[in-house]
């Protein structure tokens, strides 16, 4: 069976280096906020091209920390999308802000700037004012940062990029995560940069904002035992930081491998009824997921399964339809119609850097035969 994602293969590919990093950390006797996280934060910020990065417990907390550090909370609405990991929307509510779910551009699956513009011009009644925009660079491809950036400037809105699926993705040649007032990353094991447990980070354009996030992640402390802010506890532990330092060195190569596999799938899908992922001309796509559109999804999934090939659906239900959110979360002007249509048709093919060429060819020939 060729599985859709395989974090264990990611570990085995770097086993000697990772085991050494873990052993070094265990021997150090220092397990929380020590040298490993300090080094990882510096290395990650340098790799990204951001002034600072602050490690935290996971990608959901990263969004919550960024929102709080930028003063977004109760009395603020945040425009984001419904076609995303539920974590994006959960984080907005965690800080007491109100999500407004904007529709997606059906070709690229990211926030539709036309719907964002319509919603900002005519916000849903009864909501607090929209103060921030939280686009998601979904599946490894940037949202339209030019159009979204223009709207944020025009309306004086905070821009936070959810980069949980887009480590290394670019927009106009620059890495995503360097465009907004803050950017958030998840290091969940299957992400392009994955820990072997939970992890996350917030990237920031200034030292002062980074200090703010660093305080919030640990009880609001700037000095031990003295809380300046009401904080939380969301730390990236030393063992995960040490593992991430190993993985970061190999991230660009891993993303290149993802792109090479995507090119093989693209070629295999030519002339089939399965629609390969569309690329934005100025976006460098890093293929966290390779998501096709099919009208007969169940049949395609069954056919793949019969050929020993797993697949996934990201995501089967838009956030605004899930039981916890249905009927109470605000939608933008377009009413998320493109979102609902996409959820019926998206299918994620197996994609991770350790797939062998033989396995990739096996998927490609199964796709041609379907
Ligand atoms: C994975 C993910 C998150 C949440 O990350 P966790 O580390 O699981 O908390 C947030 N947003 C998006 C788009 C994600 O894919």
Q: What is the pLDDT of residues 95-104, one digit of tens each?
A: 999 999 999 9
For ligand 1, whether the C-beta of 60 sits within 6 Å is yes
Distance of CA 64 to the CA centre of its chain: 14
Whole-prediction pTM = 0.98
CA distance 172 to 147: 13
Give CA–CA dist 82/71, Å, rounded: 23
Cα of 328 vs centre of ligand 1, distance in Å, is: 22
Q: Measured in angstroms, how far is the CA atom of residue 146 from the centroid of ligand 1?
A: 23
Determine the distance separating the centroid of ligand 1 and the alpha carbon of 365, expressed in angstroms.
Answer: 32
Q: How confident is the model at residue 53 (pLDDT cuts 50, 70, 90)?
A: very high
**58 within ligand 1 shell (Cβ under 6 A):** yes
**Residue in 83, 88, 232 to alter for ligand 1 test, most ligand atoms within 8 A of Cβ:** 88
Average pLDDT on 344-362 reads 98
For residues 152 and 157, give the distance between their C-alpha atoms in angstroms, rounded to a whole number. 5
| CA distance linking residue 209 with residue 58, whole number of Å | 19
Cβ neighbours for 75, distance < 8 A, ≥ 6 positions apart: 128
Q: At a CB cut-off of 8 Å and minimum separation 6, what does 117 contact?
A: 147, 151
| Closest approach atom of ligand 1 to CA 58 | 7
136 CA → ligand 1 middle, Å: 10
Q: Is residue 353 within 8 Å of residue 258, measured between CB atoms?
A: yes
Q: Quick check: CB of 200 below 6 Å from ligand 1?
A: yes
Residue 146 has pLDDT above 90, yes or no: yes
Distance between CA 293 and CA 172 in Å, rounded? 26
Pocket of ligand 1 contains residue 164 by CB under 6 Å: yes
- The candidate with the shortest Cα–Cα distance to 258, out of 292, 285, 221, is 285
The answer on pLDDT for 370 being more than 90 is no
Place of tokens 């309306």: 155
Environment class of 154 (CB within 10 Å of its CB; exposed 0-12, middle 13-18, buried 19+): exposed
What does pLDDT average to over the chain?
97
User: Can you list the domains of the chain with their CATH numbers?
Assistant: 7-102+110-247 (3.40.640.10), 251-369 (3.90.1150.10)
CB distance 85 to ligand 1 below 6 Å: yes
Q: Which of 136, 139, 95 is nearest to 348 (CA)?
A: 139
CA of 318 from ligand 1 middle (Å) equals 15
pLDDT at 308: 97
Nearest atom of ligand 1 to the alpha carbon of 61: 9
Please compute the mean of the pLDDT values over residues 54-63 and round it to a whole number. 98
For residue 165 and ligand 1, the question of a CB distance below 6 A is answered with yes
Query: In which residue are the tokens 């990608």 written?
Result: 59
Distance CA 213, CA 207 (A): 10
Pocket mutation for ligand 1, best pick of 165, 187, 190 (most atoms within 8 Å of C-beta): 165
Distance 272 CA to ligand 1 centre (A): 32
57 lines ligand 1 (CB under 6 A): no
Mean pLDDT of 148-155: 98
Q: How many CB atoms lie within 10 A of CB 356?
A: 10
Cα 198 to ligand 1 centroid, rounded to whole Å: 10
Taking CA atoms only, the protein residue closest to ligand 1 atom 6 is 59
pLDDT for 124 equals 94
pLDDT tens digit sequence for 239-285: 999 999 999 999 999 999 999 999 999 999 998 999 999 999 999 99
Percent of the chain with pLDDT over 70: 100
> Which pLDDT score is estimated for 14?
98
The total number of residues shown for the chain amounts to 370
Quickly state the pLDDT bin for 55 (edges 50, 70, 90): very high
Ligand 1 atom nearest residue 60's Cα: 9
Does 39 sit behind a cis peptide bond, omega within 30 degrees of 0 on the bond before it?
no
Whether 111 is in the pocket of ligand 1, judged by its Cβ within 6 Å, is: no
């Amino acid at each position: 069976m060729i599985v859709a994602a395989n974090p264990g293969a990611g570990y085995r590919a770097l086993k000697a280096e990772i085991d050494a990093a873990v052993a070094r950390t265990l021997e150090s006797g220092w397990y929380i906020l020590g040298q490993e996280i300090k080094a990882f934060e510096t290395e990650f910020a340098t790799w990204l091209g951001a002034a600072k990065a602050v490690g935290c417990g996971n990608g959901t907390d990263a969004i919550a920390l960024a929102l709080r550090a930028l003063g977004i909370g109760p009395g603020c609405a945040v425009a984001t999308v419904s076609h995303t990991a539920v974590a994006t929307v959960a984080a907005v509510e965690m800080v007491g802000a109100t999500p407004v779910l904007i529709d997606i551009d059906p070709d690229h699956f990211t926030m539709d700037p036309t719907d964002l513009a319509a919603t900002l011009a005519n916000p849903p009644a009864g909501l607090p004012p929209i103060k921030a925009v939280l686009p998601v660079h979904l599946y490894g491809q940037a949202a339209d940062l030019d159009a979204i950036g223009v709207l944020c400037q025009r309306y004086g809105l905070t821009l936070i990029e959810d980069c949980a699926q887009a480590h290394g993705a670019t927009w106009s040649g620059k890495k995503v995560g360097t465009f907004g007032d803050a950017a958030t990353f998840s290091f969940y094991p299957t992400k392009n940069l994955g820990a072997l447990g939970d992890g996350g980070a917030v990237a920031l354009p200034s030292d002062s904002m980074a200090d703010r996030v660093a305080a919030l992640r640990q009880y609001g402390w700037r000095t031990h035992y003295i809380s300046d802010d009401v904080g939380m506890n969301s730390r990236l532990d030393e063992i995960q930081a040490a593992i991430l330092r190993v993985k970061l060195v190999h991230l660009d190569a891993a993303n290149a491998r993802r792109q090479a596999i995507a090119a093989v799938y693209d070629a295999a899908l030519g002339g089939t009824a399965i629609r390969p992922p569309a690329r934005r001309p100025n976006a460098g796509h890093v293929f966290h997921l390779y998501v096709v559109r099919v009208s007969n999804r169940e049949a395609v999934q069954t056919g793949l399964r019969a050929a020993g090939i797993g697949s996934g659906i990201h995501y089967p239900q838009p956030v605004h339809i899930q039981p916890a959110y249905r009927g109470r979360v605000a939608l933008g002007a377009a009413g998320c119609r493109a979102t609902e249509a996409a959820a019926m048709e998206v299918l994620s093919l197996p994609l991770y850097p350790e797939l062998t060429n033989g396995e990739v060819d096996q998927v490609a020939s199964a796709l041609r035969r379907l």
